[in-house]
Amino acid sequence: MSTPEVREIRSAPVGDVEIRSEAGKPAMLVGHGAVFYNPSDPSTRYMLAGDLEERVAPGAFDRALREVQDVRALWNHSPDKVLGRTKSGTLRLSTDARGLRYEVDPPAHAADVVESVKRGDVTGSSFSFRVKKDVVTRETRDGRPYYIRTIEEIERLYDVGPVTFPAYDGADAGARAAIVARAVGGDPAAEAERIRQAAGEDPAAAAARRARTIAIAERS
């Protein structure tokens, strides 16, 4: 199932970025920008909401790696803080049993980032991407609906790198509603409304949105 072409950002649930250095060679940043779902490890789930989790399937990055996409290593996703790039060979990407692994040869001006990682001040990593294929399923847990989105293929990988705050940057209310609606066997609109309310949508904004929906329906 395809999703809208939107750029998404996720942080690896378990941070493991570190400095690797060999005799006579500059320091290298090494980490995992994403981790694959492991049924025995709850930390490999990305929680979008209390009733909606996301999983990255092994193989999700195969296309990006096969196409040798031009990916940047960025500090805190900032285009002003470039640490490396696959095209220049200063960023190397691969996958292992854990997830998407990156190695970066940081420039001299990133000495503060290297030092922060070395001291343990920075431990998290993140990546931004666009999805090509995902699957959304619905389960019932404790008598309530529960949704699981599995990302099976990344169409475009934009960047990876260390971040100061690796808290999960999940989908907004509208995106959650769209994901959930695809898995609902009943009324998608009603379920989308429930998700928006659960996400704390502002009442005034909700009323305005419903008014616009009604106006569009009346004109059609």
Could you list the mean pLDDT of each consecutive 10-residue stretch along the chain, which spans 220 residues? 63 78 84 92 83 92 96 95 97 95 95 94 90 88 88 95 74 58 54 54 60 50
Q: Is 133 exposed, middle or buried (0-12, 13-18, 19+ CB in 10 A)?
A: middle
Q: What stretch of H or E contains 152?
A: strand 144-163
Answer for the pair 151, 57: CB distance below 8 angstroms, yes or no: yes
How many domains does the chain fold into?
1
- The pLDDT value given to residue 136: 86
- The pLDDT value given to residue 177: 59
Instruction: Determine the Cα–Cα distance for residues 69 and 63; give it in Å rounded to an integer.
Output: 9
42 within domain boundaries: yes
Q: Side chain identity at 31, as an amino acid letter?
A: G
41 within domain boundaries: yes
Domain containing residue 134: 8-219
- The pLDDT value given to residue 53: 87
3 within domain boundaries: no
30 within domain boundaries: yes
Q: Is 67 exposed, middle or buried (0-12, 13-18, 19+ CB in 10 A)?
A: exposed
208 within domain boundaries: yes
Instruction: Determine the Cα–Cα distance for residues 192 and 214; give it in Å rounded to an integer.
Output: 16
pTM: 0.76
Answer for the pair 146, 183: CB distance below 8 angstroms, yes or no: no
2 within domain boundaries: no
150 within domain boundaries: yes
1 within domain boundaries: no
